[in-house]
């Protein structure tokens, strides 16, 4: 069966057409710069890689072009698409697993827009576009927050009055759940043990970054909280800061919008370095002697070390630490920097393996390391395809 997976963001739509259960990618690509006359379509299929520049004014137009390209390049008939799987960032308190999309699911996604204003509106646009373009096709929502719904209450809740939870839903939701599920599955595969028998710490280090502690397949805690702003410092996000800072800035006349822009878009690696939000550039500048770039790296790695140490204690040990996402799988330097501070819990890297592990799934820990260390390239789209195929099969059996 052929499944189309969509990841709709503010200004882009990523897509893959996958043959299941063989998990063969038939075509993939992305539409970028949505809303501009210079929209970009990158496509990789049977005829190789291609790039087009044309007006793409909204998400409906972007998905319409994706379907046109697939029909022209890969599919004899558009009816060959049996289901469409969507990455939906926030499922709130309702969705504990992937679901078939209906009017109720759409309403809940809409209701959670206030919790994920930069993600859910565009996830919903993708769903509505498919409804218009392929009205007969089954659609599946795979939620980034669902993985954390079984977290213990001690990790779910903040030490704030219960009325704030009841009135506004303020609690730790966690993010990067789809990525972590995929990483957990492949970590277990590399260890040749079932996931429900393992203690794993996953470091999802990309433009957004989080650390998650998992025991017997169930998250015990995660660094991101009510929003993707919390936890470790990221490319442009501050991560955790003293909440009194916000009150202080408001007393100084800062507006809520100014604070939001500062913490979400001007902080993190960019804010400390004053140079870039790209870790590759920061590392290059640090090697040239730029002290601000070096400090940005130190803060980033130190924060991750603290979470790993805390989660080691929470889990009562660890079988594995896995690095995933862009920085996690592509930067031997950052991995060495992080793991170099974890000797106290028995972590050591094999230097040669660590250097070779660039966008590769492999073990990088040294032979005397008490904890296995892995790199696992992220593949959220494949997990979404698996979830979609599973629900499609279950529907067919009913």
Please identify every residue annotated as catalytic. Answer: 7, 87, 176, 237, 380
Is a pLDDT exceeding 90 seen at residue 93? no
| Residues 134-162: b if buried by 16+ CB within 10 A, e if exposed | beebbbbbbbbbbbbbebeeebbeeeeee
- State phi, psi for 59 to the nearest 5 degrees: -70, -35
CATH topology of domain 193-380: Nucleotidyltransferase; domain 5 (3.30.420)
pLDDT at position 397, please?
A: 64
Query: Selecting from 3.40.47.10, 3.40.1010.10, 3.30.420.40, 3.10.450.40, what CATH number does the domain 2-143 have?
Result: 3.30.420.40
Q: Please determine whether the domains at 2-143 and 193-380 fall in the same fold group of CATH.
A: yes
- For 342-396, write each residue's pLDDT tens digit: 999 999 999 999 999 999 999 999 999 999 999 999 998 999 999 999 998 888 6
pLDDT at position 47, please?
A: 73
Domain ranges across the chain: 2-143, 193-380
Is a pLDDT exceeding 90 seen at residue 233? yes
- For 237-280, write each residue's pLDDT tens digit: 999 999 999 999 999 999 999 999 999 999 999 999 999 999 99
Contacts of 7 (CB under 8 A, 6+ apart): 13, 14, 15, 86, 87, 380, 381, 384
Is a pLDDT exceeding 90 seen at residue 170? yes
- How far is 337 from 330, CA to CA, in rounded Å? 13
């Amino acid at each position: 069966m052929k499944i189309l997976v969509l990841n709709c963001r503010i200004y882009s739509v990523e897509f893959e057409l996958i043959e299941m259960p063989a998990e063969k990618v038939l075509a993939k690509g992305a539409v970028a710069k949505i809303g501009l006359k210079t929209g970009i379509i990158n496509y990789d299929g049977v005829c190789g890689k291609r790039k087009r520049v044309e007006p793409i004014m909204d998400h409906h137009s972007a998905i319409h072009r994706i379907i046109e390209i697939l029909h022209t390049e890969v599919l004899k008939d558009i009816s060959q698409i049996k289901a469409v799987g969507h990455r939906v960032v926030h499922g709130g308190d309702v969705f504990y697993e992937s679901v078939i999309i209906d009017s109720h699911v759409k309403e809940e996604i809409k209701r959670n827009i206030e919790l994920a204003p930069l993600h859910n509106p565009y996830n919903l646009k993708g769903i509505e576009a498919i409804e218009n373009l392929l009205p007969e096709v089954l659609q599946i929502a795979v939620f980034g927050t669902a993985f954390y719904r079984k977290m213990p209450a001690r990790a779910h809740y903040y030490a704030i009055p219960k009325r704030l939870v009841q009135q506004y839903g303020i609690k730790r939701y966690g993010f990067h759940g789809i990525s972590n599920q995929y990483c957990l599955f492949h970590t277990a595969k590399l260890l040749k043990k079932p996931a429900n028998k393992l203690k794993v710490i996953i470091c999802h280090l990309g433009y957004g970054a989080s650390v998650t502690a998992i025991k017997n397949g169930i998250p015990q805690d995660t660094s991101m909280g009510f929003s993707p702003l919390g936890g470790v410092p990221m490319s442009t996000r501050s991560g955790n800061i003293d909440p009194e800072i916000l009150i202080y800035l408001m007393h100084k006349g800062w507006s809520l919008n100014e604070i939001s822009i500062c913490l979400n878009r001007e902080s993190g690696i960019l804010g400390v370095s004053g140079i870039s939000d790209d870790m590759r550039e920061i590392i290059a500048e640090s090697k040239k002697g730029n002290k601000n770039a070096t400090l940005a790296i130190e803060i980033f790695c130190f924060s991750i070390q603290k979470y790993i140490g805390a989660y080691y204690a929470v889990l009562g040990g660890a079988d594995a630490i896995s690095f995933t996402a862009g920085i996690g799988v592509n930067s031997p330097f950052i991995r060495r920097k992080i793991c170099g501070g974890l000797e106290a819990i028995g972590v050591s890297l094999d230097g040669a393996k660590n250097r070779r592990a660039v966008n590769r799934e492999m073990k990088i820990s040294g032979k005397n390391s008490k904890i296995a260390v892995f790199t696992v390239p992220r593949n959220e789209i494949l997990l979404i395809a698996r979830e979609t195929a599973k629900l499609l099969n279950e529907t067919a059996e009913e």
